[in-house]
Amino acid sequence: MTRLPERDRPWVMRTYAGHSSAAATNALFRRNLGKGQTGLSVAFDLPTQTGYDPDHELSRGEVGRVGVPIAHLGDARALFDGIPLASANTSMTINAPAMWLLALYAVVAAEQGAEVAALVGTTQNDIVKEYLSRGTHIFPPGPSLRLTTDTIAWTVAHAPRWNPVNICSYHLQEAGATPVQEVGFALATAVAVLDAVRDSGQVPPERMGDVVARISFFVNAGVRFVEEMAKMRAFTRLWDQITLQRYGVRDPRQRRFRYGVQVNSLGLTEAQPENNVQRIVLEMLGVTLSRDARARAVQLPAWNEALGLPRPWDQQWSLRLQQVLAYESDLLDYPDLFDGSHVVEALVDEIATGARAALDEVLEMGGVVAAVESGHLKAALVGSLAERRRRIESGADVVVGVNRFRETEPSPLTGADTIEQVDPAVEAAAVAAVRRWRASRDAAAVAAALALLRSGAAGGENLMPASLACARAGVTTGEWAAALREVFGEYRAPTGLTASGASSPDPALRAVRSRVLRTAAELGSGRLRMLVGKPGLDGHSNGAEQIAVRARDAGFEVVYQGIRLTAGEIVAAAVQEDVDLVGLSVLSGSHLAAVPAVLNGLRAAGSAVPVVVGGIIPSADAAALRAAGVARVFTPKDFALTGIIDELVSVVREAHGLGA
């Protein structure tokens, strides 16, 4: 039989959405559902993701930019107003405060009359990859894994249809992971989570199958779609083996590898952005072609995400790509297309064997937490990403429109209104709203709920009931996180800058290194010193780390203190370290607030050190930054790292009146 007796149902179709305010995002959700979207995918802003209220110092410039601000129960009510949560399928990309956002969701659902046991959806809740790539962690690994364990145990008992954790290999690939590393490292995280639940005593041994059945994954899919399809088949094979052999799960339905996907956003290009449409389609094929390893849910980025925040029309285009494949093509009519393929099976074997070795190496180190704390995993990712960048720069890996086929006609798609603009008044409104909320609550009830949370954190009980009590009492996101910060502390993850390509034979890099040494000699200093800073809450540090590695390889002494710094901390470090150059990386869209704050701080400190900026920065904003005193602005189209470092040397020379 070549056709299935009955056509398969399409996967859940989502659009990753959220910006400005809960009310504006709610309107966007409703429009998307009306267009045929079958699941919600909530993007939260960085203050929410990192446990701060809109009026915190670190939230300045970040409120409502990369997602929706949810500061309290009132915001959660507004976000889901008119959307029946009893029948919704909601994915929430939230990690460190995942327990808190699930508590808010559960309370709103109960207020709507929904049974918590009937709720369907997912909290991402994978904190390990935050230490390695995305940077929205709050607490140290141990307490963070406890929060994940508590959430899983609570959902198994009270919300059995909810996926409490979404092991996320997506950001590992963006941080540099090869397919082997992506599979191996993600499975190491899954093992750590399942071991923690098993050893916590909160779930009876006979229910470990129920735990495994609710573990889902969130993966990446790059444009090498044949390899990506094989990767998913390898994932499926290894997950079945691990859950059977390590956890004794006998029911094959519980061992099924369940995953959602967003295809590779960071692989999209600012240059010739129309090419991103075909990239997105090919990447979607990698997770839909193979029936036996097909995604359960798919969300696609918009063609213009390398330029800024997509508009609703852009998101609609991506939704229509899914719908055409699912409803117009015959893909869902057939069994798996690759069963019996010797080529595919050999590729799957290769990835699975390598991934199993990577997993075993992590387990031999003591598990994924030990591998994070030692810096081993971060260094491996930084090294892999550096190698990937070198292949692109050399032309060994072709990126159409970037390092080859660059000649182009003017695009009718791009222009002044190509991206969504967030009204600057959004932040002021959110600040005023959270202050009104605090003033209107029962202060005694809030204090009692927070005291319960602190005592529970200091003890050993499950923290989900205390979080639910906090949600009902009107506690804010910042207050919930602050209470746990008091008990658990905060954590700064390793930067991974041990990775180096200093031995590279690249003649261009040798020429830049010679120029760095000559400039340092002319200035009478031993070495040129550069501070790489990540102001605000933007935790996407891949670009900053690659610049830091290449600058160090070119002879700079690099000062890099990691993510989540205030303007004052960056200024103090620049002055104390007496650097020759400050480089700021901002990918969250907060550059018009974050960068001037650093410039003004340096001037107030009497420093004339030049400042350069990199990020997803529209041309009008780049002009404004240069007018404010920024020496250079780099965007994703500036892909040649050695060329960027050479330009940084020019900035230092210009600042001191030296010739070329």
Active-site residue flag, 16: yes
Residue 13 φ/ψ, nearest 5 degrees: -105, 120
- 10 Å CB burial of residue 287 (0-12, 13-18, 19+) is buried
What six digits make up the tokens of 278? 């075909």
State how far Cα 659 lies from the chain centre. 42
Question: What is the three-class DSSP state of 176?
Answer: coil
Active-site residue flag, 170: yes
Active-site residue flag, 342: no
Going by the DSSP 8-state scheme, the letter that residue 339 receives in this structure is T
Q: Which is catalytic among the residues 16, 52, 491, 560? A: 16
Q: Which is catalytic among the residues 56, 72, 129, 171? A: 171
Number of C-beta neighbours around residue 476 at 10 A:
26
Look at the block and give the residue holding tokens 């409104």: 429
What own/partner pairs with CB < 8 Å and gap ≥ 24 does 436-439 have?
437/71, 437/72, 437/74, 437/474, 437/476, 438/476
Direct distance between the N- and C-terminal alpha carbons of the chain, in angstroms, rounded to an integer: 72
For residues 252 and 325, what is the distance between their CA atoms, to the nearest angstrom? 29
> Among residues 213, 102, 206, which one has the least CA distance to residue 148?
102
Q: Which is catalytic among the residues 538, 553, 580, 621? A: 538
Q: Which is catalytic among the residues 170, 259, 491, 560? A: 170
For residues 468 and 20, what is the distance between their CA atoms, to the nearest angstrom? 26
Active-site residue flag, 158: no
Q: How many residues are there in the chain? A: 660
The DSSP secondary structure of 511-577, one letter per residue, reads HHHHHHHHHHHHHT-SS-EEEEE-BTT----HHHHHHHHHHHHTT-EEEE--S-B-HHHHHHHHHHH
> Among residues 536, 481, 586, which one has the least CA distance to residue 138?
481
For residues 375 and 31, what is the distance between their CA atoms, to the nearest angstrom? 44
For residues 10 and 332, what is the distance between their CA atoms, to the nearest angstrom? 7
The DSSP secondary structure of 367-409, one letter per residue, reads SHHHHHHTTHHHHHHHHHHHHHHHHHHHTSS--BTTTB----P
Q: Which is catalytic among the residues 56, 534, 553, 591? A: 534
* Cross-strand bridge partners of residue 508: none
Q: To the nearest 10°, the Cα dihedral for 402, 403, 405, 411?
A: 10
Number of C-beta neighbours around residue 252 at 10 A:
10
**What's the half-sphere exposure (Cβ side, CA atoms, 13 Å) at 238?**
29
Give the H/E segment covering residue 114. Answer: none
Active-site residue flag, 247: no
Q: Which is catalytic among the residues 19, 231, 540, 591? A: 540
Those residues with Cβ within 8 angstroms of residue 339's Cβ, 6 or more apart along the chain or in another chain: 292
What six digits make up the tokens of 563? 């993510």
Question: What is the three-class DSSP state of 606?
Answer: coil
Question: What is the three-class DSSP state of 610?
Answer: coil
What own/partner pairs with CB < 8 Å and gap ≥ 24 does 404-407 have?
406/271, 406/272
What six digits make up the tokens of 53? 């209220």
Look at the block and give the residue holding tokens 């709507």: 112
Active-site residue flag, 171: yes
Annotated active-site positions, please?
16, 170-171, 534, 538, 540
